[in-house]
Structure 1
Amino acid sequence: MVTRRTVGSSTVRLSTLGLSLALAVAGCVEGGEDAAEGGMRVERQAVWGPRIVFNPLEIPVPDIPFPNDLSLRNADDTDTGRAWNVSLEQPSAHRSRIRRKLNTLDGFGPYAPIFVSFDGPLDLATVTEQSVVVVNIEPGHPRYGERAPLDLGKGYFPLVARPGGFFGQDPNDDLDQLMLPRDNLLPMPGGKDAFPEWYEVETHTLIVRPIVPLAAGARHAVLITKDVMGLRREQGEAVVAPVRSPFEYKAHAAQSRFVREGLKAAGLDAHELAFGWTYTTADVAAPLLAIREGIYGEGTLARIDEQAKDTLLEVRDTGILHDADGDQFPADARDHRFILQGEFLGNLLKLIAQVQSDSNYALEFPHVDYFVFGSVETPDLRMGDRRDFDLNHHTGTGPMASQVVPFVVSVPKTTEKHQPPFPVMFYFHGTGTSRMESVAIADAMARQGIAVMAFDEVGHGPLIPDLPTLLEQNPEFVPLIPVIKSFLGRLLLPDRAAEILAMDWEDALEVFYGVGLFAELAVYGRNTDEDGDGFEDVAEGFFFADPFRQCSSLWQDTVDLMQLVRVIRGLRQENVPPAIDDPSKADDARLMQNLLAGDFNADGVLDIGGPGVQFSAAGTSLGGFHAVLAAALEPEITVVTPIVAGGGFVDIMLRSSLRTITERLFLDVFGTVVVGCPTADGKLHLSQGNDADRCRKLSEEDETHFAFGQLGAPGEAVTLENLDNGETATATINAAGGFSVAVETDKGDRIRLTYPAADGETEAHEVVSRFDGAGYQRNTSDFRRTLAVQQHVFDRCDPVNFARNLFIEPLPGHPPTNVMLLQAIGDDTVPVSTGVNLAIAAGTLGLDRADWAPRAEALIEAGVLRNQHVDVDDVLGDDADPIGPFPTVKTPAGLAAVRFADVNGKHEYIAGYERDGFQYGALHQHMIAIFHRCGGRVVYDADPVCLQSTDCPVLDDVESLPGCAP
């Protein structure tokens, strides 16, 4: 039986609505404007259908059409003079903190869903883009009068994912989606029920989604016309009739004039309207634009400039002196221990490939001259009490500091065609890896004369954190220790190889940690231990259930990129000291003068950056999200390739198969969960969250329990009480004697579980909560509304809201950016549906709806958005009627495009993916390199069979391709 959450005294009232309700009764607004003016009084007619629900006092959350400007208050510390107004009263301190943060928002999310509920069922066949209209009514706005394209059952936002729960004994773990109830069914002709993903049957709630983000910083009107029909009971008979307003007027009195403006902008007459309201979107780019100004000492946040040096902070000693010795590796007169030769790194990666049993790690670098490891100083703006942003860009107030961020850069070999200083691609890595991921595409870019620079993102790096714990958690690797020790000894310290081989593993490891290169792989990084378990887990310090903390991670990485761009653009040839004849024997202080000036091989020539060279960006997965933000917000970046990126963070979380991340987030959202798992010997194993791995780790030795108890009586109630905040929740013991029950907590709260045991006695167990748990239940209206609020926050850092700024509407001072999006067919890590929606928002499927809609709907019809494996681009040319590849789109500076890799859902395919002898990863690597080499003016896929091979002649003659030259 489904767990029920009790709220106690908790309310989430929008306090402005008391006044709003009074205005509704009065029928006028202050100043005497008549709400009935312009035909806005509800007409008299014999029969009306369902009434729109408008109940501002509903508990636990107000039930009004949302988002809604009625829920804003006046504020003097925002750009718009308005801000959210939600109650801070919550059972837990962490949720109260989030409410305080919500009250700093000056508008609503441009991509967040719109909810409107009715007091009776709707005829969904009457709900269309003609009967439900969202229109821009911001005076003087370039998009004034624009009707938003809406998904009303078209399939742009599928909910279906892999079935399963996040903890044991979840009564809904057989459902294939998290948001809507099990019985969200509508009877259909023929006796088969339909499951509408855009309508909640129980509450008669429309879920309206803009397909393209609304204009930011603009007021919009939502218009429900009388063409929307619904069912009412009149004298015992079912009657289908038009829906109607909850008031005697067709809009709330405070919004009547704006709704009339909406009718005018949409070309509708007042008599067609059933009800309308307005909401204003936030200017999501404004905070980050103010921060960038501050980095350069301008604007309200000018003091950011004082936080970090605008030069390279350090270039680190690799400890490797033999990587160009002329024996094992080719000789290089300019080698020294502060640079690492490509051939040497290739050998090291072969070892990693063996350990990981993944040939994709086995890379070679024939076109990379060397790699450089170092750090820059960047402004640290996550200085709030929860390591979030506490800056107000309007007032300029808030804490800030500095931090050190590690980087790696690959420098191409100098050739007749490619000379330093080299252009730079800033590469963003994906979840759970590090800056070292960039080496996967370094050689393809170096072949085209482009350096690749990457830094460890928030909560990421090093590549191999805490090696002893890693081996403890993966005992299957322990037999490889002698092999690893021998290989590392011979590779890193050949003069001590025999000595190291005779050492214990722990002693050998200490020796390896003293080698600079090994430290780059195993020490330097930004991982943090957020849960206090003593281990810095994968991306533990990046992902949070708190949407403000989550956005702060993305914002901070964007700030780091902006600072890195400033540093690399600021390098100058005139600041480079003279060449050093033999850098391997040079004094460190003298050598460092060249290194910190950007002359890494000390030949007297600037290696990367400086004025005039192209800066571009790319990134994979999470890195693809970053790449969109960076390219939209940083004017120096003019070419970008986001790889397997998506738009709509809530959509991604609801469907992603990346359980290492989503489980951690949802255990906070659904927690604190106590799980009772029946054991084989007739006991009840009690644990928190998913400690018991969905009831698979139940022995004493597993140490996943906080107690063992007697089995409960099936059908009886189990109660979980928070002894510190008074919240309680109940669940029913299932037939096997198991259960799961959750209550809202702060980490450290005392919780008590009680239930009747099978022998008639009462079992009681107390434990301290390990979670900041919100206590929501999946597949409920409460959870749905919470997800919507989260998206309003996420919209401030969601790439989908910045995609339009790449070339359709560049931000002030930013030239158009050429973009090539790459997506993986069947991807369920970042669901491909969210990648398609990002492509629509960016304009890569077409600028106008007449262009992008047929293409998107062909993908929907083929099942691509539901992760069906369809060869969209047909690179081998063996499909009779392929959907793609779709035409490129002209930008003011070049081209935009989206391409789909037929890789059976292989999310990280770009690092290398081969099937039936065809190298899909290499194909797209080379397409990226050509796109960036040609400044985003060439999308070359005319000969994919050639291009998937490193022997393809085009790769050495790219500049001759039509359109490549400026």
Structure 2
Amino acid sequence: MRILLPVLVFFTALSLGGCHLDNTSPEGLELNLETKGPQVVFDLDAEPLPEIPFPNDLATRLDATSPTGRRLNISTMAPTKLESELRGFADKIDGWGTFSQISVRFDAEIDATDVWNRQQTRDLGDDALYVVNVDPTSPGFGEYVPLDVGGGRFPFALENRSNYFPNDTRKGESNLIFETVNEDLNGDGILQPEEDTDFDGVLDHANLFPGGTNTVDDLMTFYESQTHTLIVRPVRPLRERTTYAVVLTKRIVGVDEEPNDGIPASPIRSPFRYINHTRQTEALAPLEGILADLGVKLELVAFTWTFTTQSTTHDLEMIRRGMYGDGPMAWLEAAYPPDMTHIDAVRGPKSKRPRHMAYGEDVANIVEFALGAVFDGVSEESKTVMREGMLNVDYIVAGSFDTPYFLTDTDGLANADNPQDDDEVWDLDPVTGATRHAPQRVTWWCAVPRKELNANPDHPFPVVIYGHGYTSARLEMLGFAGSHARAGLATCAFDAQGHGLVLDKSISENPLVNILMDTYDLQMILTSLTHGRARDLNNDTVLDAGGDYWSANTFHTRDVVRQSVVDWMMMVRILRSFDGTRQWKLTKDDDSVLLDVDGIAGIAGDFDGDGKVDIGGWDNDYYAWGQSLGGFLATIALAVEPAITAGAPVAGGGGLLDVSTRTTQGGVVQAVWLRLLGPLIVAQPNPEKTGYTDLFWWAIDVNDDRGLYIATLGPNELAPGDTLRATNLRSGEHDTVRLDENHQARLAVAADAMSPTEKRARLKLPELTERFIFEGRMALDMELGDPFEIEVFDGETAERKRVVQSFEGEEPVKWQGTFFGKGSSLVAPSEGFGFKRQSPDLRRFLGLGQAIVDAADPANYAALFQRPIDYSDIEPERSMQRRALVIATLGDSNVPVSTGIAIARAAGYIGQEVDPRYGKSQDELLIDNYVVEGIAESKRFGEDVGVMLYDADDLDNDTDGYDAPSPADPLRITVTNPDGSMSGLRLPFIFPKGEHGFMVQSPEKPFDIDTFMVNQITWYFQSKGRVLSDEPCLATSTCDFFKPTPQPREGL
């Protein structure tokens, strides 16, 4: 059990009454007429913590230093330091989420089906509830917020239902959040021990529509029947720093127990004398006039409350302004000048050619090796095209620059080998400009096109900045640089925060690789490319690229994303500084063969020494795209960096918690869900001794999971039907389960544990060498994590049979730089919240979690594409129009395609009104044909069609050989921006089962969709976002607008 629920709001000083200064009682908007219907739960005395409608301004405190005048007021009491710190950081947020759930609990069941029916029509006048902008200072004052109430825009269905660690009691069930199991086997309505399959003490019922049986199609995602909680989502993100009202009408009624008695069901009711809390009457004053426009009178309102949204995008805007000497963070301009600090050597010291330049012809010779380092399964045809593409490239250069890094260590434990930043969050005040910061080196490389491909020879090349994927590196850019170069576009990439190229020893220590590099005079290129930002996060001497990027530590996740966007803005700023007069200000590291600047001097941006800037410049065009993580970052960068002319985020996602609840991405599932559901203690049958049971910790190892042996119990100590109880001896938290007939069980208890990097610093672990890893270091008992006890109770007599309080194995358990020997105290090896799958606690936590990450959620930035941030005061020559080609690959389960579509929806690209081509809206077309769901294995189009997705865009015009179902008139959403440029959404069909992004060119396919997409993006950028072409010739690179690839150069 969890002694403290994770997210319910605690008020240290709040009364239901209050009084006016003239000693009169405050009043609400309208008197509450008592009914017998379900009452809104508003209980400040509830245990363990108060329960109120969420989000709610009554759960904030006034703060004059906050941009909104408010900050959240969340109790920091929690069973773990992990959760307590999270709550403490939440207290600093200046408002509620803009793309998170809105929920309200009732004390009895409501007619959820009627609510659902009302909310599916376009007739607002008949809706059961509303969310409206009641902020007179907002440009959107009076707006009604379109709501998704089980409308299918935010699906929960999983592609891999059994991905959540050993002995999952809900293994194989359709989702993570809502109950899908009926436990009342005998139908008596009373919980028997054998019926409680998830051991939560509740007689669970599947959260389905009445009469429903299908746990996907009949699942109520808008109503939690166990707690009588209504849950809705805004279709598009709300405006930041804005006050909204949630309005529940009397059209929401209780369940009619006697449907044939002629007496209608009673409507819901307020918990107060009035239809609102009197502290919110003033904020709700505009509501009556707003509702009147719909013909809804105040007397129809059953209950209403307000909440104010946070500053989601403001921090990044202030940082960007500060980089250019404007606003409270103007100090950034001088503190972090726009200079490259290093240019890398890519050739050996004996080379007779410029050591910092790798010519395109050189790189063409190592393409096969380079592609194999970042892409799997590259065909020979692809390699040939890639080699030819490199002939469009003049040269590649690499180096680094300093970025303002806002995730510096706060514990005083950092050193040169251990930055100790894998748990840090920003501490930034956008009002005063005060923040914690330090320079951090960002590693980059750029591919510069051949001069004959420049459409404007008197000017430097425009620059495309490509963002790589999760756990990948800047090398990924190589797959697309040749295509961009052919269109006269330079391509640059940098390693995102915590990322970098980590080569397996079979590559890095392979003498054949060294011979290959030496053959083509690129002896130093691997040294350059592996000099990245990855750190060793588990003390095994191996760098963990992106290991701390996605995590259940939601504040850290929020800020590593934002940090990478800061790096993006810094790189753009440096490229813009190449004005033809600025000089290189490079650093020579005398103790490093890597950072070599011999022969590099003169004009900044002139890499080839011809006296002219090669790329960038103040007035040039910049473009942003990337895939997966790069798609997330490109979306945000396009919104906050006005120098970016256009962007093309691919396989990114809007709604970060929506991503987490459906992703199959290796590393993310472990890093997020094992922290949410664990740490776990699992029981498994001993593989060698019949009747014996092994106990293990199941723990998180950076972004992987691992079992740690605890003990083996014999049949007299633990048998099927016996009860297991695990107790955190520090907090008192415990979990109790029953061993099943297969000798399997799983317990989850919230716990704290020292992180590997903290362990390295506090225990003063020696230099990480192979010898150290072999010998390990003895764990210091309870110092490393919360102490635990495992008890066994007889299934019939309840007598305690066995207690485990230490590691009992003969062999020491090696774990992240230490080991637990026999007799070492049983301590938690990793931290976690200890939630149960399909539980209300988990659902509530994720609701708050989305509010926490909203400031880094691409959906909130996509909403700015049509109402862009105005930088015209400091960038008068730049267009503020945001031009975006959003690309979501069909059937993507790594970053669920539903979340990619959510970006386009947030941007306002997806039509909500009826499209005459389909007799329904574009959004409904995508929902009704399961494009948003995106699970081909569901066989939505029948057994004859089989495992297949709906090809809404039909970009191949039925020539790819897959014969996928598609509309007669392809969707291909395209919108014309106010300045005449184009934006839109494309949904490429890569494979029938779906795909995460697209690879390098694949000319062996009947229709090369990979080449099509790369060329579509390239031409969109080359046209400055004014042409969004779907011409079939893009798939063969034969369109008239493509220049021919230059011939190889001789004598380089």
Q: Give me the TM-score of the superposition, normalised by structure 2.
A: 0.79
Do the aligned partners of 2:345 and 2:597 also contact (CA within 8 Å) in 1?
A: no
Over residues 457-508 of structure 1, what are the superposed CA-to-partner deviations in whole Å (9 max), with x where a residue is unaligned?
A: 011102x34x33xx5xxxxxxxx999x532531332579xxxxxxxxxxxxx
1:525 maps to 532
The residue type equivalent to 1:885 in the other structure is R
SS of the aligned residue for 1:956 comes to coil
1:328 maps to none
Query: How many Å separate the matches in 2 of 1:115 and 1:750?
Result: 37
Over residues 630-665 of structure 1, what are the superposed CA-to-partner deviations in whole Å (9 max), with x where a residue is unaligned?
A: 111111112111111110001000001103212121
Query: How many Å separate the matches in 2 of 1:276 and 1:425?
Result: 48
Classify 1:112/1:20 alpha carbon distance in 2 versus 1 (closer, same or farther; 3 Å): farther
The residue type equivalent to 2:524 in the other structure is G
Quote the offset at 1:415 in angstroms. Answer: 1.2
Do the aligned partners of 1:167 and 1:694 also contact (CA within 8 Å) in 2?
A: no
2:723 maps to 717
Query: How many Å separate the matches in 2 of 1:542 and 1:313?
Result: 26
- For the pair 1:142 / 2:126, whether they are aligned, the reply is no
1:685 maps to 694
Identity %: 28
Classify 1:361/1:519 alpha carbon distance in 2 versus 1 (closer, same or farther; 3 Å): farther
Classify 1:627/1:32 alpha carbon distance in 2 versus 1 (closer, same or farther; 3 Å): farther
Query: How many Å separate the matches in 2 of 1:189 and 1:542?
Result: 42
SS of the aligned residue for 1:266 comes to helix
2:986 maps to 899
Q: Map of 1:494-513 to 2, 5 A cutoff?
A: none
- For the pair 1:745 / 2:751, whether they are aligned, the reply is yes
SS of the aligned residue for 2:838 comes to coil
Q: Map of 1:95-134 to 2, 5 A cutoff?
A: 95-127=83-115, 128-129=118-119, 130-134=127-131
* Structure 1 or 2: more helix by fraction: 1
The RMSD of aligned alpha carbons is 3.2
Quote the offset at 1:704 in angstroms. Answer: 4.1
Classify 1:231/1:588 alpha carbon distance in 2 versus 1 (closer, same or farther; 3 Å): closer
SS of the aligned residue for 2:283 comes to helix
Do the aligned partners of 1:691 and 1:704 also contact (CA within 8 Å) in 2?
A: no
Do the aligned partners of 1:635 and 1:815 also contact (CA within 8 Å) in 2?
A: yes
Over residues 872-921 of structure 1, what are the superposed CA-to-partner deviations in whole Å (9 max), with x where a residue is unaligned?
A: 11123235624512243334351111111011212131434567421111
The residue type equivalent to 2:844 in the other structure is R
The residue type equivalent to 1:917 in the other structure is P
720-729 or 150-159, which deviates more: 720-729
Do the aligned partners of 1:859 and 1:883 also contact (CA within 8 Å) in 2?
A: no
- For the pair 1:863 / 2:863, whether they are aligned, the reply is no
1:299 maps to 327
Do the aligned partners of 2:241 and 2:311 also contact (CA within 8 Å) in 1?
A: yes
1:315 maps to 343
SS of the aligned residue for 2:397 comes to strand
Classify 1:559/1:108 alpha carbon distance in 2 versus 1 (closer, same or farther; 3 Å): same
Do the aligned partners of 1:168 and 1:695 also contact (CA within 8 Å) in 2?
A: no
Query: How many Å separate the matches in 2 of 1:695 and 1:935?
Result: 42
1:504 maps to none
The residue type equivalent to 1:66 in the other structure is F
Picking from 341, 358, 361, the partner of 1:343 is: 361
Structure 2: state its 5+ residue gaps: 120-126, 181-204, 411-422, 585-594, 754-784, 807-825, 873-878, 937-948, 959-965, 1046-1052
Quote the offset at 1:790 in angstroms. Answer: 0.5
Quote the offset at 1:691 in angstroms. Answer: 7.6
2:406 maps to 381
1:707 maps to 711
Over residues 345-404 of structure 1, what are the superposed CA-to-partner deviations in whole Å (9 max), with x where a residue is unaligned?
A: 232231355685433566221211111110011111112533221122223333111011
1:368 maps to 393
1:584 maps to none
611-620 or 802-811, which deviates more: 802-811
Query: How many Å separate the matches in 2 of 1:531 and 1:696?
Result: 12
Query: How many Å separate the matches in 2 of 1:822 and 1:235?
Result: 49
Do the aligned partners of 1:576 and 1:599 also contact (CA within 8 Å) in 2?
A: no
Do the aligned partners of 2:365 and 2:520 also contact (CA within 8 Å) in 1?
A: no
Classify 1:34/1:931 alpha carbon distance in 2 versus 1 (closer, same or farther; 3 Å): farther
The residue type equivalent to 1:148 in the other structure is V
Over residues 134-184 of structure 1, what are the superposed CA-to-partner deviations in whole Å (9 max), with x where a residue is unaligned?
A: 000111321111111111121111000120142211111221211112233
Over residues 738-761 of structure 1, what are the superposed CA-to-partner deviations in whole Å (9 max), with x where a residue is unaligned?
A: 111111111122222222479984
Over residues 768-797 of structure 1, what are the superposed CA-to-partner deviations in whole Å (9 max), with x where a residue is unaligned?
A: 212121111121111000000000011111
Do the aligned partners of 2:681 and 2:695 also contact (CA within 8 Å) in 1?
A: yes
Alignment size in residue pairs? 887
Over residues 792-834 of structure 1, what are the superposed CA-to-partner deviations in whole Å (9 max), with x where a residue is unaligned?
A: 0111110100112123344443711111111111111111111
2:601 maps to 593
Quote the offset at 1:77 in angstroms. Answer: 2.7
The residue type equivalent to 1:89 in the other structure is M
Classify 1:785/1:728 alpha carbon distance in 2 versus 1 (closer, same or farther; 3 Å): same
Quote the offset at 1:229 in angstroms. Answer: 1.5
2:427 maps to 390
SS of the aligned residue for 1:163 comes to coil
Query: How many Å separate the matches in 1 of 2:362 and 2:333?
Result: 39
Picking from 493, 497, 500, the partner of 1:458 is: 497
The residue type equivalent to 2:888 in the other structure is Q
Quote the offset at 1:949 in angstroms. Answer: 1.0
Query: How many Å separate the matches in 2 of 1:71 and 1:929?
Result: 48
Query: How many Å separate the matches in 1 of 2:902 and 2:451?
Result: 41
Query: How many Å separate the matches in 2 of 1:492 and 1:849?
Result: 62
Quote the offset at 1:20 in angstroms. Answer: 3.7
Query: How many Å separate the matches in 1 of 2:316 and 2:24?
Result: 39
Do the aligned partners of 1:460 and 1:541 also contact (CA within 8 Å) in 2?
A: no
SS of the aligned residue for 2:659 comes to helix
Q: Give me the TM-score of the superposition, normalised by structure 1.
A: 0.86
Over residues 328-351 of structure 1, what are the superposed CA-to-partner deviations in whole Å (9 max), with x where a residue is unaligned?
A: xxxxxxx51101112222322313
Do the aligned partners of 2:677 and 2:834 also contact (CA within 8 Å) in 1?
A: yes
Query: How many Å separate the matches in 2 of 1:749 and 1:519?
Result: 42
Picking from 882, 887, 911, the partner of 1:822 is: 887
The residue type equivalent to 1:854 in the other structure is S
Picking from 246, 253, 271, the partner of 1:246 is: 271
Query: How many Å separate the matches in 2 of 1:485 and 1:212?
Result: 54
Query: How many Å separate the matches in 1 of 2:555 and 2:73?
Result: 17
- For the pair 1:358 / 2:367, whether they are aligned, the reply is no
Query: How many Å separate the matches in 1 of 2:146 and 2:576?
Result: 40
Do the aligned partners of 1:576 and 1:606 also contact (CA within 8 Å) in 2?
A: no
Do the aligned partners of 2:548 and 2:702 also contact (CA within 8 Å) in 1?
A: no
Do the aligned partners of 2:149 and 2:222 also contact (CA within 8 Å) in 1?
A: yes
Q: Map of 1:513-912 to 2, 5 A cutoff?
A: 515-521=523-529, 523-575=530-582, 591-594=599-602, 597-681=604-688, 682=690, 683-689=692-698, 704-710=708-714, 712-747=718-753, 748-756=785-793, 761-766=801-806, 767-813=826-872, 815-846=880-911, 854-867=921-934, 868=936, 869-878=949-958, 881-892=968-979, 894-904=981-991, 905-912=994-1001
Query: How many Å separate the matches in 2 of 1:530 and 1:885?
Result: 43
Over residues 521-570 of structure 1, what are the superposed CA-to-partner deviations in whole Å (9 max), with x where a residue is unaligned?
A: 3x311112233344323420322211110011011111111111111101
Quote the offset at 1:688 in angstroms. Answer: 2.0
Do the aligned partners of 2:406 and 2:563 also contact (CA within 8 Å) in 1?
A: yes
Do the aligned partners of 1:807 and 1:891 also contact (CA within 8 Å) in 2?
A: no
2:589 maps to none
Classify 1:252/1:671 alpha carbon distance in 2 versus 1 (closer, same or farther; 3 Å): same
Quote the offset at 1:187 in angstroms. Answer: 5.4
The residue type equivalent to 1:220 in the other structure is Y
Query: How many Å separate the matches in 2 of 1:719 and 1:241?
Result: 44
Picking from 431, 447, 470, the partner of 1:410 is: 447
Classify 1:353/1:414 alpha carbon distance in 2 versus 1 (closer, same or farther; 3 Å): closer
Query: How many Å separate the matches in 2 of 1:804 and 1:262?
Result: 25
SS of the aligned residue for 2:735 comes to strand
- For the pair 1:259 / 2:324, whether they are aligned, the reply is no
SS of the aligned residue for 1:824 comes to coil
Query: How many Å separate the matches in 1 of 2:297 and 2:1044?
Result: 61
